[in-house]
Amino acid sequence: MNLAQSKTKNIKSFLATRVFFIILILVILPLIIYLAILYRAEYKEQKQDLLISMNILKDQISKNIEDNLKFKNEILDFAINEINRNGQNVNKCFSKITTEFNLQDLYYLDFSQNYLFLMNSTKQNLIGKNLNSLKNILNQKNFLFSTELLSCKDCIYFSKTFYKNNYPKGAFVLSFFKSELLSDLPKDKFFKNIDLKILDSNKNIVLSNEIFQSNGSTNAQNQKVKMDQLQVQKDLKNLNLKLILSLDQKYLKIFHQQNFVFKHTFILSIVFVILLILTWIVISFISKPVKTLLLTMKEIKEGNVNKRYKKQKLGFEINYIGSFFNNTMDSLIAKQKEIEREKIEKQRYIQELEIAEDIQISLLPQKPLDIKDVDISFGNLFAKEVGGDFYDFFLKDGKIFFVIADIATKGILACLYALNLRSTIRSYASTFDNLDEIILKTNNLFFKDAKEKSMFATAFFGIYDIKSKNLKYSNQGHMSAILRKEDSTITELTTKGIALGVEEMEKVYINEITLQKNDLLFLYTDGITEAIDKNNKFFGKENLVNLIKDTKDLNASEIIERLFKKLEDYSRDAEQFDDMTALLFKII
């Protein structure tokens, strides 16, 4: 057998096995669902039957306990009458009664001077014992309780208290084995696992067929009732006690599972054999089309991506799958070509961004002017996507021309427009002395270039005369400049004006102000006040103004450094969508 035949046989064997299990699953799944529904229905029915049985058992046990304790009460009445009649030999009378009625012990406890003492007992060694801890229990007329104070772990106690002037005078107590009240529990099937508890009015366990703790009783509130339990309960007449029968449903589930499997094994076996036969019949019909499809896939895997599945006779759904596979391959090849195109576009976009970043950096002065009367500093933080913020300043005829601007878009287009606008502003500012003429010519030229794309830019222009300290400025839709005086008062400098590139201008509004020593002029773009933290809260103008106020003793570069350090800390865990740009002049 050659290698090709071996591979074909392996494919066929693999096909038979896989199709077998697929059909097996598809046919057995409805059967499993049916069996699951049947299982739940039978389990629910068996659970209801068990609850009915437990209620019947509860009534029977409660009646037996009531009758037993009623008889014990009559024994105590008999004992009291005997003692009242004989009077002298109480302990001997107790011994006679315990023997006659098959009791374990009989006690008399006396309430005197707010203490409870054991005065008479069939156990001589206990006479005189202080049993004050049982005082609250024996305050009741009749009570059933457990205790280890009377030296019998397997006993339970029934008391009868008599009163004088509505105060307890003494109590007669008899003891008998706990098993006497537990003997009615059946030992077969589920019932042998039933938990029986008798609770008092304080929900303390008086009697239980579970393992007792050393003190003989347990607070029921500390016994977490399992959610998966069947439980019935009944109040015992005239005894202020409650009988509870509970059964963990795991015993019911185990029995039901065993019974269910045994009951339905025969049906399952017949169905399974039929499924085997049907499965092999189906495999014999569909193996050839599936084999053809697998061989087609194998050939494509080895590199022949143009290979396609051809429809087969009796192919049925396999033909549909083959057609779907052919379409998938065509789609994948087309998608791969699209991914390649997107990859090329992405690389081009990255290159454009790198160019935009270089342009953006080239727009900004690299060092301040060397002027002794004015301290200049600047800074910026770039957002994830490059924008069109820029600032510029230069010295001309003893005057400092400066501008800060923000192009109303992002990306390579914003950088190109910013480069064009900066070149235009610098050209006119170098040629003309009047600020209004510089702005008018800049706007009208920029408008011609930008109107097709509806592009515009906000800007703040200024010319500062170093000798006279006179400042002329104009705001074209930009953020107002902030002037901090030496006494830390804040003034916002602005004028009327619209953004550059919106429309042709006929008039520019210019304001003038004379600056003083230690005055500080701060210009910025909206990226600073609109910086966000991880909670999407803006940095805001108030934070900016407060920071500028608190920098009286710092030079210009220290102020810029402090500002951008605070902005970095504020926006550390949040993505920023706009550049943060600032330009600062401090008069010396």
Three-state helix/strand/coil letters over 464-504: EECCCCEEEEEEEECCCEEEECCCCCEEEECCCCCCECCCC
Mean local confidence (pLDDT), 37-43: 87
Q: Where are the domains of the chain?
A: 47-250, 275-347, 363-587
- Checking if the pLDDT of 392 tops 70, the result is yes
Query: Would you identify the CATH topology of the domain 47-250?
Result: Beta-Lactamase (3.30.450)
Instruction: Quote the pTM value.
Output: 0.47
Please determine, for residue 3, whether its predicted confidence score (pLDDT) is greater than 50: no
Whether 524 shows a pLDDT value over 90: the answer reads yes
CB 235 within 8 A of CB 242: yes
Higher pLDDT, 264 or 553: 553
Q: Which pLDDT does position 382 carry in this prediction? A: 80
What is the Cα Rg of the chain in Å?
50
What whole-number percentage of the chain has pLDDT above 90?
A: 36
- Overall average pLDDT of the 75-88 stretch: 81
Among the ranges given (247-256, 480-489, 534-543, 579-588), the one the predictor scored with the smallest mean pLDDT? 247-256
pLDDT of residue 456: 95
Considering the segment(s) 363-587 as one domain, its CATH architecture is 4-Layer Sandwich (3.60)
Task: For residue 316, give both structure tokens.
Answer: 């049925």
The yes-or-no answer to whether 47-250 and 363-587 have a common fold is no
- What pLDDT, on the 0 to 100 scale, is given for residue 240? 83
Q: From start to end of 325-480, where are the E strands? A: 374-381, 389-396, 399-407, 457-465, 470-476
Sorted by sequence, the CB contacts under 8 Å of residue 187 that are 6+ apart come out as none
Q: Are 146 and 198 in contact (CB under 8 A)?
A: no
